[in-house]
């Protein structure tokens, strides 16, 4: 009798466990059945405007036998460049040192047996980089030409930008939303369902890529006027929208 009672209790417990597991499975299935049907679409918008500002990178590099001599020559050249830029109307806030370095220069001789001697320092190179914001684009070519004449011997890139691009970005954003909504309308009508509420919306914004000038031509820019074509900046926005579907 005692054994039977224990067996009955165990059977009842196992039965309850099975029922409980089955109830959870049914609840998960019901939740899956109630999950909202959605459709996700994307739209791209673009707006183009003429740039009103340029950001240029200029560098002065000087070599000498000692670090002190290289630094002194570099500093003298950079002072002249800064003074000339200010004379051409560049404000103090639009001039920023972005890179400064002092690097030793090494020489390594080959031995007759094919091995190398230990490298020795034969001089130093000092580089001083400057980022310049030019708000009067009509002066851009003249500014680059004058800077090279005064000692700039390495150049980076020129980025044409806009001081306040928000109006163009807003136009691109609206265009992207309109295209995404139109795409959702076309897809749901073709599928025989209706668009519901917006479940989620996000955007990706792409800024214009900088237009680069190679460093090599900087040496001969001082012999001629530098032609600059600013073109136009295109601001692109991609909008992703997830809609609920009403069936």
Q: Which domain holds residue 71?
A: 53-161
Tokens of 153: 């011997």
Query: Same structural domain for residues 181 and 218?
Result: yes
Same domain, 136 and 170: no
Phi, psi of 21 (to 5 degrees): -65, -40
Is the pLDDT confidence value at 19 over 50? no
Q: What is the number of helices (H) and of strands (E) in the chain? A: 4, 8
**Does residue 197 lie in a domain region?**
yes
> Do 114 and 153 lie in a common domain?
yes
Same domain, 71 and 154: yes
Residues 133, 176: one domain?
no
Are 68 and 157 contained in the same domain?
Answer: yes
Residue with tokens 């047996």: 113
Model confidence pLDDT, tens digit, residues 215-235: 444 544 444 556 677 788 889
Query: What pLDDT score does 230 carry?
Result: 74
Query: Of the candidates 161, 184, 205, which is a domain's last residue?
Result: 161
**Residue 207: inside a domain:** yes
Q: Are residues 154 and 186 in the same domain?
A: no
Lowest mean pLDDT across 69-78, 127-136, 175-184, 215-224 = 215-224
The bridge status of strand 53-64 relative to strand 95-107 is unpaired
Residue 3 lies in a domain: no
Instruction: Specify whether the CB–CB gap between 189 and 226 falls below 8 A.
Output: no
Indicate the pLDDT class of residue 127, thresholds 50, 70 and 90: very high
User: Looking at per-residue confidence, does 216 or 125 come out higher?
Assistant: 125
Q: What is the model's pLDDT at position 33?
A: 55
Residue 167: enclosing H or E segment and its boundaries? helix 166-191
The CATH code of the domain that includes 104 is: 3.30.70.2970
Find where tokens 């109630």 sit.
Answer: 34
| 226 within a domain of the structure (yes/no) | yes
Helix (H) / strand (E) element for 6: namely: helix 2-34
Say which CATH number the domain at 168 has.
3.30.110.170
Tell me: do 58 and 155 sit in the same domain. yes
Which of 112, 139, 161 is at the close of a domain?
161
Tell me how many domains the chain contains.
2
User: Are 47 and 57 contained in the same domain?
Assistant: no
Mean pLDDT, rounded, of the chain: 81
Kind and range of the H or E run holding 84: helix 67-87
Residues 247 and 168 in one domain: yes
> What are residue 211's DSSP bridge partners?
158
> Does a structural domain hold residue 108?
yes
Report pLDDT digits (tens) over 36-61: 899 999 999 999 999 999 999 999 99
Please tell me the pTM assigned to this model. 0.62
User: Could you tell me if 80 and 136 lie in one domain?
Assistant: yes
Rg, Å, the chain Cα set: 34
> What share of the chain has pLDDT > 70, as a percent?
77
Nearest 5°: the CA angle 133, 227, 138 is: 45
pLDDT for position 145:
86
- The two tokens of residue 204 are 């990706």
**Residue 176: which of 206, 208, 199 has the closest Cα?**
206
Give domain status of residue 17, yes or no: no
Choosing from 98, 128, 161, the residue where a domain stops is 161
Distance between CA atoms of residues 194 and 244, nearest Å: 9
195: left (phi over 0), alpha (psi -120 to 50) or beta: beta
pLDDT tens per residue across span 24-35: 445 444 555 567
- Kindly state whether residue 106 falls inside one of the protein's structural domains: yes
Q: Are 185 and 148 in a shared domain?
A: no
């Amino acid at each position: 009798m005692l054994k039977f009672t224990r067996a009955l209790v165990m059977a009842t417990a196992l039965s309850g466990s099975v029922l409980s597991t089955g109830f959870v499975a049914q609840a998960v299935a019901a939740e899956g059945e109630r999950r909202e049907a959605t459709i996700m679409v994307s739209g791209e918008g673009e707006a183009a405007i003429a740039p009103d500002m340029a950001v240029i990178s200029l560098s002065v590099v000087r070599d000498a036998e000692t670090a002190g001599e290289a630094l002194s020559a570099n500093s003298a050249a950079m002072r002249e460049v800064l003074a000339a830029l200010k004379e051409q109307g560049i404000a103090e806030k639009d001039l920023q040192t972005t890179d400064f370095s002092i690097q030793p220069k090494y020489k390594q001789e080959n031995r007759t047996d094919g091995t190398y001697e230990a490298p020795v320092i034969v001089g130093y190179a000092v580089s001083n980089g400057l980022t310049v914001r030019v708000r009067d684009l009509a002066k851009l070519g003249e500014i680059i030409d004058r800077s090279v004449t005064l000692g700039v011997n390495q150049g980076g890139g020129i980025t044409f930008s806009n001081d306040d691009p928000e109006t163009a970005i807003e136009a691109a954003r609206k265009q992207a939303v309109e295209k995404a909504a139109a795409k959702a309308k076309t897809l749901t009508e073709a599928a025989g369902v209706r668009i519901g509420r917006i479940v989620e919306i996000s955007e990706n914004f792409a800024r214009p890529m900088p237009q680069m000038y190679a460093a090599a031509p900087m040496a001969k820019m001082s012999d001629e006027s530098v032609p600059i074509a600013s073109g136009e900046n295109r601001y692109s926005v991609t909008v992703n929208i997830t809609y609920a579907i009403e069936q």
